[in-house]
Amino acid sequence: MSETDTPTIGHWIDGAPRASTSGRTAPVFHPATGEKQAEVALADQAEIDEALRSAQRGFETWSALSIAKRQAVIFAFRELLNARKGELADIITREHGKVRSDAMGEILRGQEVVELATGFPHLLKGAFSESVSTGIDVYSIKQPLGVVGIISPFNFPAMVPMWFFPIAIAAGNAVVLKPSEKDPSAALWLAELWKEAGLPDGVFTVLQGDKLAVDGLLTDPVVQSISFVGSTPIAQYIYETASTHGKRVQALGGAKNHMLVLPDADLDLVADQAINAGYGAAGERCMAISVVLAVEPVADELIRKIVARIEKLRIGDGASTPEPDMGPLITREHREKVSGYVDIAERDGATIVVDGRDFQVPGGEGGFFFGPTLIDRVPTDSRAYTEEIFGPVLEVVRVAGYEEGVALINSGAFGNGTAIFTNDGGAARRFQNEVQVGMIGINVPIPVPVAYHSFGGWKQSLFGDAKAYGVHGFDFFTREKAITSRWLDPATHGGIDLGFPQND
């Protein structure tokens, strides 16, 4: 494809594709080949303003519709998504690089939230208290916020937006989605599906862009809330900036997730799950297991079992047949960053058991592949241990016992997810109570809650008070009014009384 033939991916504004006039673009690569496959538009201020004006009009139309009509559109979207999700999986594989089965799994987990949203009328009910005083009733109602912003990451271009927008739209809001510049096409596909489902124009907007678009959402008074998933430094920036401008914020940040392995654990199960949780999606998951805390004397045997499984993994283009187990990283720059963390671990005295830095796929030498990497005896003061790597790098830290393992987990800056592997129910129960982490797995390595619970961590893994989806999501995307009501009987009302109302 020549430079002049490269397509430009634009916005979705007012219910239709919108070509950008900003003159600014960023490249979109095919991660398995390293070739540029498109350019994505980067919005200027005029396009940001246009998108937000359209969303405000969409909100005014959508919020005035009956719950029954809104619910019908949500159901239609769910059915269309279920019928055509294979198209979306192909888009994700092409732009993100994850294997197709993983892309399909991402969509199915997002679809759980769509299905939760179809039952939204129950979760939008207020409360009613009759006769709190003579002739006086008090009741509450839940109303939408208005225009809400979603800023989503590259690693889950469909699932993460679906953590937020089904609930936001069901509650009567209009959504402006700013997807990652690295894989922007999934958002447009979802916008087209909403259009087909009957969503009014302006209720779902896709604004392509960079920091200018992000800051536009964070500062413009039209936007009432921000939902974000990404790295901790950016999450903190999002939270501080949007909060300063009076917006509600749920900003989910980074992670360094640990798996504590007790001596009584089934090591074959542990090795299987360490492979799945450490190398699935090439480690580009905020819920990936990064560190195995092996309570001695299990480390040597566990490492042997993990190495044996690494040797059987197939790495390649996620669109190839037969499908590989793991695809490439998202960009060349990210591949270099992950490689740099392995360099740091090696300099700090760790043992590189399996080294993926020079890994190449035959025929895919230009792709952004990084082989599964296993590192033993990682010092806990190394940046390779304390910072999020976000790649297929699994680290082993040997600990003397349960207490040392929990102390290490609790001393970290992050508190997103963690897991314990054991056959001791007492140890598992103690772990779930003592560990300072938001999502916990017991013999489950990636404890992402189902849609009717809520997703979110502790400490520097979450900024703001509301987690994603579940009841937290409906609370976040609505605000409550309390109404005190009295219908006077002209024959019995009490006349003038300047005192403070009392319940006599």
Catalytic residues: 286
SS3 content of the chain, % helix, strand, coil (to 5): 40, 25, 40
Which residues is 204 bridged to in the sheet? 175
CA 451 to chain centre: 13
Q: Phi and psi (nearest 5°) for 245? A: -95, 20
> Is-cis flag, bond preceding 324, omega within 30?
no
Positive/negative CA dihedral, 238, 250, 462, 283: negative
CA 413 to CA 7: how far, in whole Å? 42
CA 421 to CA 293: how far, in whole Å? 10
In 3D, which of 141, 40, 78, 123 has the Cα closest to residue 481?
A: 141
CA 394 to CA 292: how far, in whole Å? 7
Q: What is the DSSP letter of 479?
A: E
Q: What is the DSSP letter of 315?
A: B
Cβ 395 vs Cβ 384: under 8 Å: yes
CA-based max dimension of the chain: 91
Would you call 105 exposed, middle or buried from its count of C-beta atoms within 10 A (0-12, 13-18, 19+)?
A: middle
In 3D, which of 110, 91, 90, 217 has the Cα closest to residue 162?
A: 110
Three-class DSSP category at 215: helix
3-state secondary structure string, 440-458? EEECCCCCCCCCCCCECCE
Q: What is the DSSP letter of 248?
A: E
Would you call 182 exposed, middle or buried from its count of C-beta atoms within 10 A (0-12, 13-18, 19+)?
A: buried
**Could you please report the per-residue DSSP string of 81-123?**
HHHHHHHHHHHHHHHH---HHHHHHHHHHHHHHHHHHHTHHHH
Number of neighbouring beta carbons within 10 Å of residue 349? 10
